[in-house]
Amino acid sequence: MDSINKIFNFLFPPLALYALFLFYPTYQRLKSVVSIFRNLFSENVAGKVVVITGAASGIGEALAYEYGKKGAYLALVDIRPEPLFLVAALAELYGSPEVMPIVADVSKLQDCESFIRDTVRYFGRLDHLVTNAGVAPLYMFEEIDDLSKASPAMDINFWGSVYCTFFASPYLKMSRGRIVVIASGCGYIASPRLSFYCASKAAVIAFYETLRTEFGSEIGITIVAPGIVDSEMSRGKFMTKDGKLEVDKELRDVSILG
C-alpha cells in the first residue's frame, strides 16, 4: 500500500497540472466572457456613453453588442476600418441609439487624445472606458532575433491602456464613471512563448490596481483576467479557425517540465 501511495503521490501532481493546462482554457473561454457581462451589466447603462478599444473583433466586439443591447451610446475604436464599421452597424441593430466608429492606433498618444476628445465633444460626456485593444506575440525569448518585434506588446497592451485612461479620467471623474480593463490570466500565470504578453498584462493589472487606490470612489475600475477566448488573436496560436482548442505541444511540454 505504501508503494502505491508513493507512486500516486509522484504521478498525480504533474498529471493534474497537465490536465488543468489542457482542459481549463476551454472551460474558461465562455465562462470568462459571461462573467464580464454579468458584472458589467448589473449597472443600468442605458443612455450612457462608452468607449471600447479593440472593438472590431473578439471581446471588444462582443462587449459592443452587449452594451448596444442595453441602450448605451458607443464610440468604437480599432485600427482596422472594415471590420470596425461592420461591428458599428451591427451594434446599432442590437439597440445602441448611436454608434461612432473611430479608426485609431492606441499605441499613439495623439490618437488616444483625439478619440477621447472627439467622443466627449460629440456625445457630451463619457461614462465607461473599456481598454481592450491588445496583441499577443508568440515566441520563445531565445528565438527573438530583433527585440523591436516585442515592443508592440507593451506599446499596445500597456501604453495603449495608459494613454486612453490619462485622457479619459477627467471626464470619468465628472460622471462617476468606470474603467473596464481587459487584462488576461497570463498577467498572473507564466506562459511559455508569451513572455512579453505576460509582462504587459502583469503591468496592466498592477497599474490599474494602483489606480484603484488613487481614484478611490471617483472612478470605478473593473479588471477582467480571462483565459483563452476564441478571437482573431488566439486563432492559430491556441484556437483553430473553427474555434476548437489546439494546444501547442511544445508550449505544453515546457509547462510541465522541471
Using DSSP's 3-state secondary structure scheme, residue 136 falls into: coil
> What domains are defined for the chain?
28-231 (3.40.50.720)
Burial of 105 from C-beta contacts in 10 A (0-12 / 13-18 / 19+): middle
pLDDT value at residue 120: 99
Of 28, 126, 54, 234, give the one whose Cα is nearest residue 63. Answer: 54
Where residue 157 falls (left for φ over 0; alpha for ψ -120 to 50; beta otherwise) is alpha
Give me Rg for the CA atoms of the chain: 20
Distance CA(232)–CA(83), nearest Å, equals 12
The side-by-side arrangement of strands in the sheet containing 99-103 is 99-103, 73-78, 49-53, 128-131, 178-182, 220-224
Task: Please name the residue that has the C-alpha cell 448611436.
Answer: 98
Task: Please name the residue that has the C-alpha cell 503521490.
Answer: 9
Active site residue 197: yes
Of 256, 201, 198, give the one whose Cα is nearest residue 224. Answer: 201
Dump pLDDT digits (tens) for 6-48: 554 555 455 444 544 544 444 444 455 555 555 555 789 999 9
Distance CA(134)–CA(176), nearest Å, equals 26
Distance CA(20)–CA(15), nearest Å, equals 9
Cα 3 to Cα 6, 8, 12, 15, 175, distances in angstroms: 5, 9, 14, 18, 65
The x, y and z cell numbers of residue 240, run together, are: 483553430
Q: Which of 67, 163, 171, 197 is catalytic?
A: 197
Distance CA(223)–CA(244), nearest Å, equals 26
Cα 181 to Cα 2, 130, 196, 257, distances in angstroms: 50, 6, 18, 33
Distance CA(79)–CA(77), nearest Å, equals 7
pLDDT value at residue 144: 82
Per-residue pLDDT tens digits of the chain, which is 258 residues long: 556 555 545 554 554 445 445 444 444 444 555 555 555 557 899 999 999 999 999 999 999 999 999 999 999 999 999 999 999 999 999 999 999 999 999 999 999 999 999 999 999 999 999 999 998 888 788 888 888 888 889 999 999 999 999 999 999 999 999 999 999 888 888 878 888 899 999 999 999 999 999 999 999 999 998 765 554 544 444 444 554 545 554 444 433 333
Chain centre distance of CA 18: 25
Chain centre distance of CA 23: 21
